[in-house]
């Protein structure tokens, strides 16, 4: 988006490099501190509480982000995953844009919490982080329970189902918190989604003709990866996407969509 390019030229020097590493480091520290006798008191002072914020405890506007997403035996595994998600987004976008994405998520979470009368947590902020990662790198595999490889795109489908359930059946405060987290996501990916929808409409008839020609055993490739040259003839199940950051119309297979050098 052009607005991010202008903002980055003006404020990019203030961006925090490796922001996710700092966030995960603080959450890991809080996890360990929560195991001490003072743990409940520490967590109570970090939680978001509108009434206490109104009394002057303004640090709660951001300190809730320091609370880890889990206190179970899987906590460090979950923190490691979120570090991967954030680091991958930062690699793809650069420090400034990732800073904006995460910090705008914090601001929207706070606004949503005040509007809904809810307690802000990092849960839905992490949801938007995961959905962004799944959009950037859908073929990334996670070893579920350290054994079962699962592609992120399938987990993202489950996340979207959970979002739909929350919007339809959960109380209003949760609907609001889910909504503000998705607002952050759509601000960053809305243009890309619209482009894909338009491309699907524009190429629908062409795709039908291609399938007919493939069924007949003829036809030239319609899709070709700019990096490796793979086409749908090499693998009918191969998926291709256009890169929104490359100048012109350059198509990539999902393997190289998130790892190519952008063409300017």
90-100 pLDDT per residue, tens? 988 889 999 99
Flag whether 263 is in a domain.
no
**According to the model, what pLDDT value does residue 142 have?**
83
Q: Are residues 34 and 137 in the same domain?
A: yes
**According to the model, what pLDDT value does residue 10 have?**
83
Flag whether 171 is in a domain.
yes
**According to the model, what pLDDT value does residue 22 have?**
94
Q: Is 146 left (phi over 0), alpha (psi -120 to 50) or beta?
A: left
Per-residue pLDDT tens digits for 181-235: 888 888 888 776 666 666 555 555 555 555 555 554 456 777 888 888 888 777 7
Interatomic CA distance for residues 118 and 116, integer angstroms:
5
Q: Are residues 151 and 241 in the same domain?
A: no
Flag whether 119 is in a domain.
yes
Flag whether 91 is in a domain.
yes
Q: Are residues 142 and 237 in the same domain?
A: no
Q: Are residues 80 and 28 in the same domain?
A: yes
Name residue, tokens 């070893």. Answer: 143
Number of domains in the chain: 2
**According to the model, what pLDDT value does residue 47 have?**
92
**According to the model, what pLDDT value does residue 1 have?**
57
**According to the model, what pLDDT value does residue 204 have?**
55
Residue of 154, 159, 158, 150 lying closest to 129 (CA atoms)? 159
Flag whether 262 is in a domain.
no
Q: Are residues 105 and 230 in the same domain?
A: no
Q: Are residues 51 and 178 in the same domain?
A: yes
Flag whether 264 is in a domain.
no
Strand pairing report for 148-151 and 240-242: unpaired
Q: Are residues 113 and 154 in the same domain?
A: yes
Last-in-domain residue among 191, 207, 241:
191
Given a contact cutoff of 8 angstroms between Cβ atoms, the answer to whether 31 and 115 are in contact is: no
- DSSP H helices, 71-151, are 75-93, 95-116, 123-136
Flag whether 226 is in a domain.
yes
Q: Are residues 13 and 91 in the same domain?
A: yes
Enter the pTM of the model: 0.72
Q: Are residues 160 and 98 in the same domain?
A: yes
Query: Which tokens is 70 given?
Result: 């889990």
Written as tens digits, the pLDDT of the chain (264 aa) is 567 777 778 888 888 999 999 999 999 999 999 999 999 999 999 999 888 998 999 999 999 999 998 888 888 888 998 999 999 999 888 899 999 999 999 999 999 888 887 778 888 888 899 999 998 888 888 877 667 888 889 999 999 999 999 889 988 888 988 888 888 888 888 776 666 666 555 555 555 555 555 554 456 777 888 888 888 777 777 888 888 778 777 888 888 887 788 887
Strand pairing report for 148-151 and 251-253: unpaired
CATH number, position 90: 1.20.1540.10
Last-in-domain residue among 137, 162, 191:
191
Q: Are residues 73 and 181 in the same domain?
A: yes
Last-in-domain residue among 167, 191, 215:
191
**According to the model, what pLDDT value does residue 69 have?**
85
Which residues constitute the domain of residue 104? 2-191
């Amino acid at each position: 988006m052009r607005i991010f390019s202008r903002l980055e030229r003006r404020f990019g020097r203030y961006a925090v490099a490796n922001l996710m590493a700092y966030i995960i480091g603080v959450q890991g520290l809080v996890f360990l501190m929560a195991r001490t006798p003072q743990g409940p008191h520490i967590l109570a002072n970090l939680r978001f509480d509108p009434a206490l914020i109104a009394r002057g405890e303004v640090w709660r506007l951001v300190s809730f982000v320091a609370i880890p997403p889990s206190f179970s035996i899987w906590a460090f595994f979950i923190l490691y995953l979120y570090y991967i998600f954030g680091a991958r987004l930062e690699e793809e976008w650069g420090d400034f844009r990732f800073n904006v994405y995460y910090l705008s998520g914090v601001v929207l979470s706070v606004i949503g919490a005040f509007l809904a009368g809810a307690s802000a947590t990092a849960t839905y902020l992490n949801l938007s982080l995961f959905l962004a990662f799944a959009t950037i790198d859908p073929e990334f595999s996670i070893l579920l329970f350290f054994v079962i490889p699962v592609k992120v795109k399938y987990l993202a489908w489950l996340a979207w189902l959970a979002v739909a359930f929350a919007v339809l059946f959960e109380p209003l405060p949760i609907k609001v918190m889910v909504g503000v987290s998705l607002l952050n996501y759509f601000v960053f990916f809305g243009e890309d989604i619209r482009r894909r929808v338009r491309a699907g409409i524009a190429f629908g008839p062409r795709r039908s003709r291609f399938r007919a020609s493939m069924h007949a055993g003829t036809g030239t490739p319609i899709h070709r990866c700019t990096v490796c040259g793979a086409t749908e003839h090499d693998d009918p199940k191969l998926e291709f996407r256009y890169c929104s950051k490359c100048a012109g119309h350059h198509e990539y297979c999902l393997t190289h969509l998130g790892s190519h050098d952008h063409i300017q």
